[in-house]
């Protein structure tokens, strides 16, 4: 039997979600059966899987220890992260090319979130043994071979608010990319439809609506060109997987160094191993909203220009 007191970072969750995080070895079927048979109680009383947890609540679990093993949260010895900005709630980090944000099929333990977790543990801002269910979390993702700003939430409230602001399009990210050719017109807002194929690990674009496809809107501006390649500033009005890479390739201007969406010939001639794409800035436009993160409203943060800018 174990008792867990709900802390600030646990509050607001459904009971079943909390139990799944706190006891990852517990099968879902056992979880729901235990709630039904009162082997899991909330404040000593019968509860429902959908019961919302409040700070100070006590969750009692009357099960064998083999299914109550807490998630292993050892913090590996990893390189530091490049911090652009941080406060008690959030951290903005500059992810380098070649580093995954989370664990992938390669099983590499060195990821951006692992490096962030180590840094926060070393500084004393995060104690994995003191948390029932929360761990530092990324609010946005970028591809392994894309560099630039990633937003990290240090607590559950910051994660909730930032995700809400991102969903409402109140967090604006700007990208720089280098593309083959010269887009015409030099600036435009593009609309198309994109479908992600999980088996092929890539997205496909059409000009007309298609089954399973989502609308994507991409705004670009040509900053400079030498006639062969062009430097673009890009804003995403939607956030789809591989949106910039797929959309620019669709209009005939694939990113330099993009072996997935560009042609093999262009990829070989570029001499680059990775796509020339960087998330260079983020602006928080909360419109007076933002709750616990309201102090970020109107602020912008950026990283230095990426190396591929020098190719022009």
Interatomic CA distance for residues 112 and 77, integer angstroms: 13
* Confidence band, pLDDT 50/70/90 cuts, at residue 63: confident
**Rounded mean pLDDT of 3-26?**
88
Q: Is the pLDDT of residue 72 over 90?
A: no
Task: Please indicate, yes or no, if residue 230 is contained in any of the structural domains.
Answer: yes
Please give the pLDDT value at position 223: 97
Question: Is 300 contained in some domain?
Answer: no
Least confident of 54-68, 246-260, 290-304: 54-68
**pLDDT of 26:** 85
| Residue % of the chain over a pLDDT of 70 | 96
Residue 226 pLDDT: 95
Three-state secondary structure along the chain? CEEEECCCCCCCCEHHHHHHHHCCCCCHHHHHHHHHCCCEEECCECCCCCCECCCCCEEEECCCHHHCCCCCCCCCCCCCCEEEEECCCEEEEEECCCCCCCCCCCCCCCCHHHHHHHHHHHHCCCCHHHCCCCCCEECCCCCCCCEEEEEEECCHHHHHHHHHHHHCCCEEEEEEEEEECCCCCCEEEEEEEEEEECCCCEEEEECCCCCCCEEEEEEEEEEEECCCEEEEEEEECCCCCCHHHHHHHHCCCCECCCCCCCCHHHHHHHCCCCCCEEEEEEEECCCCCCHHHHHHCCCEEECCCCHHHHHC
pLDDT tier at 66, thresholds 50, 70, 90: low
Q: Residue 71 pLDDT more than 70?
A: no
Residue 44 pLDDT: 92
Q: Which residue has the higher pLDDT, 69 or 13?
A: 13
Helical pair 28-36 and 15-22, crossing angle rounded to 10 deg: 130
Q: What is the pLDDT of residue 24?
A: 80
Give the domain range for residue 39: 2-67
Position 74 pLDDT exceeds 70:
no
CATH number, position 40: 3.10.290.10
Top pLDDT among 108 and 307 is at 307
CB 73 within 8 A of CB 59: no
Q: Provide the pLDDT for residue 266.
A: 85
Read off the tokens for 5.
């007191």
pLDDT attached to residue 288? 87
Residue 132 included in any domain: no
Which of 52, 67, 82 delimits the end of a domain? 67
Considering the domain boundaries, does residue 82 fall inside one? Answer: no
- Whether 136 is covered by a domain: the verdict is no
Is residue 199 over pLDDT 70? yes
Residue 199: inside a domain: yes
Structural domain includes residue 284: no
Of 35-49, 57-71, 274-288, the least confident: 57-71
Could you tell me the pLDDT band of residue 67, with boundaries at 50, 70 and 90? Answer: low
The confidence band for 268, taking pLDDT boundaries of 50, 70 and 90, is confident
Q: Which of 136-150, 169-183, 205-219, 258-272 has the lowest mean pLDDT?
A: 258-272
The answer to whether 305 and 148 are in contact (CB under 8 A) is no
- The CATH number covering residue 198 comes to 3.30.2350.10
My answer on whether omega of the bond before 80 falls inside 30° of 0, hence cis, is no
Kindly tell me if the per-residue pLDDT of 77 is higher than 80.
no
From CA 155, how far away is CA 55, in angstroms rounded? 14
Q: State the total domains in the chain.
A: 2
Residue 190 in domain = yes
Judged by phi (left if over 0) then psi (alpha if -120 to 50, else beta), residue 122 lies in alpha
């Amino acid at each position: 039997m174990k008792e867990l007191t709900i802390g600030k970072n646990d509050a607001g969750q459904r009971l079943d979600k909390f139990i799944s995080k706190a006891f990852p070895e517990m099968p879902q079927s056992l979880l729901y059966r235990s709630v039904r048979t009162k082997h899991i109680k909330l404040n000593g009383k019968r509860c429902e899987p959908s019961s919302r947890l409040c700070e100070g609540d006590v969750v009692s679990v009357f099960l064998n220890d083999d299914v109550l093993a807490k998630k292993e949260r050892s913090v590996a010895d990893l390189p530091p992260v490049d911090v652009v900005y941080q406060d008690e709630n959030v951290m903005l980090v500059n992810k380098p090319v070649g580093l995954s944000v989370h664990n992938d099929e390669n099983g590499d333990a060195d990821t951006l979130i692992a490096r962030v977790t180590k840094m926060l543990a070393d500084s004393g801002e995060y104690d994995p043994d003191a948390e029932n269910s929360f761990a530092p979390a990324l609010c946005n993702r970028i591809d392994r071979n894309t560099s630039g700003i990633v937003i990290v939430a240090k607590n559950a409230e910051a994660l909730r608010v930032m995700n809400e602001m991102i969903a409402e399009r109140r967090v604006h990210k700007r990208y720089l990319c280098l593309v083959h050719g010269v887009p015409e017109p030099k600036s435009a807002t593009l609309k198309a439809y994109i479908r992600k194929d999980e088996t092929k690990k890539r997205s496909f674009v059409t000009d007309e609506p298609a089954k399973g496809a989502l609308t994507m809107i991409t705004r670009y501006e040509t900053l400079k060109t030498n006639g062969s390649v062009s430097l673009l500033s890009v804003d995403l009005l939607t956030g789809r997987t591989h949106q910039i890479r797929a959309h620019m390739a669709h209009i005939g201007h694939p990113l330099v160094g993009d072996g997935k969406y560009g042609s093999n010939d262009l990829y070989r001639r570029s001499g680059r191993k990775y796509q020339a794409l960087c998330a260079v800035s983020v602006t928080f436009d909360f419109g007076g909203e933002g709750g616990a993160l309201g102090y970020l409203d109107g602020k912008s943060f950026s990283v230095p220009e990426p190396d591929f800018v020098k190719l022009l």
